[in-house]
Amino acid sequence: MSQLDQTLLPEDRLMSVFAAASSGISEPLAEGVTLRVGAAGSGKADQLLASARAAGGWTFFHHAGLGGESHNPELFLWRLLGALRRHCGFRDTLPMDAAVMREALPNWLARAAAGGGVSIVLADAQELSTGGLEPSLDWLPSWLPKGVRIALSTRPGPSAELFRDVADQVVEPAAATDLAQLRGQLRGLLDDALAREVMEYLWAARGGLGRGELAALTGSDVSAALERLAPFTRSDGEHWILAGDWIRETAASRRLADHGERQRLHQRLAEHKLARPEQEILLLQIWHLAAAGRQDLLPDALLSPRWLGWMVEPSLRFESLRYWRRAGKIEPIVEQMDKLAETGELGSAGMLGMVRLATAIADRPCPRSWLSQGLALSVSDSADADKAAFMELLGTHPDTAEPERLQWLKEALALREAEHGASHTLTAGLRHQLAVHHEEQDDLASARTVYRAGIVNLEERGAERNAELIPWLNNLAGVHKALGELKEADELLRRALKLAREELGQGHPTTASCCDQLAGVQYMAGQYETAEGLYREALEITEAAFGPDHAATAAGLNNLATVLDARQQYAQAEKLYRRALQMRLSLHGEHHSDTASSLHNLATALEASGKTDEAEQLFRRALDAWDKISGQDSAAFATTLLGLADLLRDRGAWADAEALYRSDIEIWRQLVGSRHPHTLSALLGLARLYVEGGKPELGEPLLLHVTETAQEVVGKTDALYMESAGLLGALLRDAGRTEEAKRVLETALAAQSDQLGMLTAPAQKLRRLLESLNQRPQKLH
């Protein structure tokens, strides 16, 4: 089974069998949410499937009334995301937490829809419920991108009224179904003992049963019984299932009305050895033990070395997680696993599976000792794949010392390359991990080398036109950007955007992300007009994909407002900032990092428009929010504090501004050191305060320090250096030291000629200042 196929569960067979036997002709399914209301037995599911097929594109089908875990909302989401992942070839890790799955679904749907129409058919939607009282609707996104069609079917009643509230169109049945007659026909068939036994086993089975399996369970030839039951079952020729929830209700209305009889039936199926792959046999055995109420047997089954060895497979890990989460407390489970690890009986595969499972259960790294044990076992087992996995886990474990982490990652990468080749998915994933590690250690040169190697390997595999290259190009561009190498970053991001548009489509969320990243580099280079166009494109794609009230749309509004602010289009910027702020307040509340950022950004725009009273209020609200979110010693608090200091300086509140500048400088020194650009920016603000406040003798030494240090730290092409040099040049000019001013400005401008930002706003400001000096008449001595 390939890695993309390791998300399948028995319910996938249920749906496949039902859909394979479904036929019919219907009008094409419309975009949006379609609700079909009809009595049991009216063929709603078949009609919706026919409509989806008529609409074309890709169809996902789920019937919540077919037994097993088909009623489980969490499993429905798992199936849906797994199917999207297989259909679209997504490389994203499939989430195993219901909340994370719900959060991921809008993005995955938008990406899928960009490649063609998508239909999601949920039959008997009223059965999809966690507690069995009210149908689950929290999986349904509030916004559907163009090309997405969702079809729901339900019986009349209270559930139907809930679904009507979310439906764009409702289809009522043309004629009622005589359900009483159908039930009577089925009850007549159940008078036959063998037919009843077959129906009961099909009711209890998870994923259907084959003819031979039914014969072994009943001890009889079931061919004639299956033929008589054909109107109430579905089959693909290999497996049989019951065809709907009302049929299941009728089949269980006799002996299975007794709960004890149901448990005995599940116990019988748990003990019976089906002719299935070993993994599926154990999966079904555990499920039937749980259904039989044998909680006493579950821990041993779930912690058996064989089962744990399969926890590297997503579907089986998802199954285990569901059982362990029902158990409630996490610590006793981890303690049981720790004792099992001490026995040394698991082998490397069992240890690796237990590590994966424990990490998912506890949502934190497993004990590091497990990894050391697993590595030793993988060496003794000669299991190189497990060995590489344990090395990677050791290299990313928080308790591993820094020099050792890098060594583990390098050794793991060498093993993966030897086993799979340089361009294999597993190798690429580990290479990316290594690059990220270098970035985290601020070793950008090494990160750049590793990202370049990843791109070369993909290109050698023939992926020059493959969308797989996009994240690698963007990541490498990010390193160049951090190094101040904007030309190199620009080239990589343009290539990534071209690939996204051509391979994924103009409306794909990845295309929006590429626009956004390229716009960021253009903004840094002062190419505001180009940045604005890219930000507008990103916003248009994002809003179409996720809707006008999504967090991603708010981020797009904020980005576009930022560049409009830089272009001094303050009214437009203010409008967008206000919309983004209201969205974030609605989504997150006041004390959230996104909201605090919007408060800060709107304050800067208002300040530039002269609306300083409201700007000051917003800066203070942002400071209060940052205080509660990250504390007064955080970078976010310091950034907003600097904004407030600048505003007070511009309003002439010199003493208040000076106190804030000094506090800000101290925060930055404690956080990043005295030579960091953030600290230098705060010093530059204080220097400007002294210059504008009539104390140039205090401002000049600060400006000299900032200019010289910025030249060493960020280079002469950085905006910080240019702003400091410009202010120093102006101070020297005003002091009558024209030649000194010229030298400062000429030195600053000389570095701009070969840069992407040749005509940036800061560079133009320096040039204008120098030209004004050159045009001044020389004093006669």
Closest to 37 measured CA to CA, from 225, 208, 198, 176:
176
Q: What pLDDT, on the 0 to 100 scale, is given for residue 179?
A: 81
Structure tokens at 119: 């239909």
pLDDT > 80? residue 764? no
Do 109 and 32 touch, CB atoms closer than 8 A? Answer: no
Instruction: State the pLDDT at residue 295.
Output: 87
CB 222 within 8 A of CB 199: no
Determine the average pLDDT of the residues in 497-515: 96
**What are the φ/ψ torsions at residue 687 (nearest 5 degrees)?**
-60, -45
Residue 247 pLDDT class (50, 70, 90 cuts): very high
Confidence band (pLDDT; 50, 70, 90) for 325?
confident
State the pTM of this model. 0.88
Q: Are 80 and 62 in contact (CB under 8 A)?
A: yes
CA of residue 520 relative to chain centroid, distance: 21
Q: How far is CA 771 from the centre of its chain?
A: 51
Is the pLDDT at 377 greater than 70? The verdict is yes
Q: For residue 329, what pLDDT is reported?
A: 76
pLDDT in tens, 661-683: 999 999 999 999 999 999 999 99
Q: How far apart are CA 468 and CA 463, in angstroms?
A: 7
Write down the pLDDT at residue 620.
97
Q: Is the pLDDT higher at 724 or at 752?
A: 724
> What is the per-residue pLDDT across 716-748, written as a single tens digit (0 to 9) for each?
878 899 899 999 999 999 999 999 999 988 888
Average pLDDT, the chain: 91
- Condensed to tens digits (0 to 9), the pLDDT of residues 622-651 reads 999 999 999 999 999 999 999 999 999 999
Percentage of the chain surpassing pLDDT 90? 76
pLDDT at res. 462: 76
Residue of higher predicted confidence among 91 and 205? 205
In the predicted structure, residue 376 carries a pLDDT above the cut 60: yes
pLDDT digits (tens, 9 = 90+) for 223-246: 999 999 999 999 999 999 999 999
**Highest mean pLDDT of the ranges 17-26, 170-179, 625-634:** 625-634
* Pairing between β-strand 240-242 and β-strand 233-235 as defined by DSSP bridges: antiparallel
Instruction: Tell me the C-alpha distance between 414 and 418, whole Å.
Output: 6
Tokens standing for 80?
């849906």
DSSP string, 116-153: S-EEEEEETGGG--SSSSS---TTS-S---TTEEEEEE
Least confident among 55-64, 391-400, 596-605, 769-778: 769-778
What pLDDT score does 4 carry? 34
DSSP alpha helix (H) spans, 525-653 = 528-546, 551-566, 570-588, 593-608, 612-629, 635-650
DSSP state of 220: S
Q: How confident is the model at residue 175 (pLDDT cuts 50, 70, 90)?
A: low
pLDDT for residue 778: 44
Model confidence at 765: pLDDT above 80: no
Taken as a whole, the chain contains a residue count of 781
Measured CA to CA, the distance from residue 38 to residue 176 in angstroms comes to 8
Position 768 scores a pLDDT of: 80
Gap between the Cα atoms of 463 and 322, Å rounded: 38
